[in-house]
Amino acid sequence: MLERFYPDYEAESAYEIDYQGLYRKGYRGIIFDIDNTLVPHGAPADERAVALFSHLHELGYATLLLSNNKEPRVKSFAGQVNSPYRHKAGKPGREGYLKAMERMGTDPSNTLFVGDQLFTDVWGARKLGITSYLTRPIHPREEIQIVLKRKLERIVLYFYHKKIADGK
């Protein structure tokens, strides 16, 4: 039952994923969460985020920011990294992910999702068969509802790591 929340992969940071290698494997679109995945919660795009998106676009990736946040926050960040977006996306619901792929011209077989939360980001991607990367949160300061979810995430990740260690 917990498997529905398991990421396909884990990464310390969105900035440490081998996007070039994944492109060679056939991936063409990347859906990103913003807050605590690319920058601390509520922060504008920094030089690292701008450079990452520039690099991804140079490689040939289509990108899209998928956020449950309000439009002013998402639109501003999207403008800074030159990426389309969907705000109030309703993650982990399927519609936001479907619209993201439609906009990028991709499908689950050639799309990646990168985010920091199991119960929204990863679960939503898994519902559609999108390869998911769970990143560590960038900053410890989070809204109370996320702090509570993190406690539950630790339980799921314990069993996920146990499964990996057991070779299952």
How many other β-carbons are positioned within 10 Å of the β-carbon of residue 17?
18
Give 62 or 118, the one with higher predicted confidence: 62
- Confidence bin at 107 (pLDDT 50/70/90): very high
pLDDT band at 151 (very low <50, low <70, confident <90, very high): confident
Question: Between these two residues, 168 and 92, which has the higher pLDDT value?
Answer: 92
- pLDDT given at position 161: 74
Span 110-133, mean pLDDT? 96
Q: Contact at 8 Å (CB) between 67 and 73?
A: yes
Angle CA 10–14–19, to nearest 5: 90
In the predicted model, what is the mean pLDDT of residues 15-25? 98
Of residues 160 and 11, which shows the higher confidence score? 11
Q: CA-CA distance, 111 to 71, in Å (whole number)?
A: 23
Average pLDDT, the chain: 92
Query: What is the reported pTM?
Result: 0.89
Compute CA 11 distance to the chain's CA centroid, rounded to the nearest angstrom: 11
pLDDT band at 125 (very low <50, low <70, confident <90, very high): very high
Out of 26-30, 79-83, 115-119, pick the least confident.
Answer: 115-119
- pLDDT bin (cut points 50, 70, 90) of residue 167 is confident
